[in-house]
Structure 1
Amino acid sequence: MKEPSLVGLHARLERLERELAWWRRIGVAALACAGLFGAVAATVSTNPDEVKTRRLVITDGDGRGRAVFTVDESDRTRLSLADRDSTTTADLTVIPGQSAALSVGRAGARAQLAAAGDNGQLSVEAQGQRGWVVAAPSGASLGLGQDLGRPQVSLATSATLSPSLQISDRDGTAVWRAP
């Protein structure tokens, strides 16, 4: 039999035990929901559809930059690829309204393909190979020599397709010309 003074205490104790059981169930349910949410979050793809940046650097496993994609302040777009020694081996550059160029190089030799100007001038240049080709709507030329500005042998055609041949000394002074 319960004593009259303890009846209130027993009622309060039973109510607290029921509340504790209720809170225990809520806690277990909250942990289960958090675990379920974590499992779902772990399986969701985090790859974005779009990345916006002005400079993107791709590195290898050792942290060396292997590819750099940039858009600079003058709106020039450039993609540079490098080898393990961080030496640029390929470079694609676009300057809006002016030119686009692709350069590749290795061991001191370099080749460049460029399109420039409003008239659609196309040039192919090889450094370290002593020759280059230039093609444009106004004509085309093949130059052989050490310096791009002073070819020692130049074979060219004009816009009317009339050919010309020029042989120059090392300083670029014409020695012989036809026609």
Structure 2
Amino acid sequence: MDTLETRLERLERRCRRMQGLTFSALALAGLGLGAAALRTSPELVGGELVASRLVLQDARGQQRALLGLDDSGSAGLVLNDGQGRPRALLGVAEDGSPRLRFATAEGESLAELTVYSDEAPRLTLSKRGGVDLFAVGLQVDGSSRLELADADGRPRAILGADENGSPGLLLVDRRGQPRVELRVSPADDASLRVEGRDGEVFRAPAVIQ
């Protein structure tokens, strides 16, 4: 069974692969949807309005909402502020993953809810600059995780439960080294491990110097 430290490393690798999408997807979505489907005009079919792009404008002619398809066929709804800047996105990616995202005026993600593989939802809260400070989600294997990060985006507290429902808490220092680990095993055995700055380790039910 994987330890909390192993799961943390695996999750960090996965987040790094998705990081490029997280910071700029709102702006790209607005551009992609805006460029799509001007080739066809809306038409009425069986009493329904059929179109591949719908734009809503305010009284000043500013684009406030855009519903449409991008070049890959992904559907999305982008909501803009009074200056025409995309601030909210509801979309479904090409792989079928639904996503809800809220951003700053500059397009930096502040909050995002995504569902992966039909069974792995993940919610992240970020500060300006794209640094994730809070994340909670379920994994495909049935495990769950809650992360609290410092100002630089380094996970410092990880609370989770493995696929068997066994809980664990991991506290990490600024260098990424685990310092406190509290676990309850599937057999309901509890363990505690604390490492000091000088390398001294306290372990319960046993103490190791």
Please report the TM-score for the alignment, with normalisation by the length of structure 2.
0.52
In the alignment, the residues of structure 2 paired with residue 102 and residue 60 of structure 1 have an alpha-carbon distance, to the nearest angstrom, of 23
CA RMSD between the two structures: 3.0
Q: Which residue of 2 aligns with 1:166?
A: 193
Q: Which residue of 1 aligns with 2:140?
A: 117
- Which gives a bigger RCO, structure 1 or 2 (Cα 8 Å, sep 6+)? 2
Contact 1:66–1:83 under 8 Å retained in 2? yes
1:79 matched to 2:100? The reply is yes
Gaps (5+ residues) in structure 1? 1-45
Q: Which residue of 1 aligns with 2:156?
A: 130
Q: Which residue of 2 aligns with 1:156?
A: 183
Aligned residues: 128
Deviation, structure 1 residue 165: 1.1
CA deviation map 1:121-168 (0-9, x unaligned): 111111117212112334111111137974211111111221111234
Deviation, structure 1 residue 61: 0.9
1:178 matched to 2:201? The reply is no
State the AA in 2 paired with 1:156.
R
Gaps (5+ residues) in structure 2? 1-48, 50-66, 70-74
Alignment map for 1:6-17 (pairs within 5 Å): none
Cα distance, 1:143–1:109 mapped onto 2, change above 3 Å:
same
Cα distance, 1:140–1:55 mapped onto 2, change above 3 Å:
same
Cα distance, 1:164–1:69 mapped onto 2, change above 3 Å:
same
State the AA in 2 paired with 1:121.
S
What percentage of residue pairs aligned between the two structures are identical? 29
CA deviation map 1:90-145 (0-9, x unaligned): 10010124511011122556111101123x21111111172121123341111111
Alignment map for 1:26-41 (pairs within 5 Å): none
Q: Which residue of 1 aligns with 2:82?
A: 61
1:102 matched to 2:128? The reply is no
The structure with more radius of gyration: 1
Q: Which has the higher helix share?
A: 1
State the AA in 1 paired with 2:178.
P
What SS does the aligned partner of 2:161 have? strand
State the AA in 1 paired with 2:143.
Q
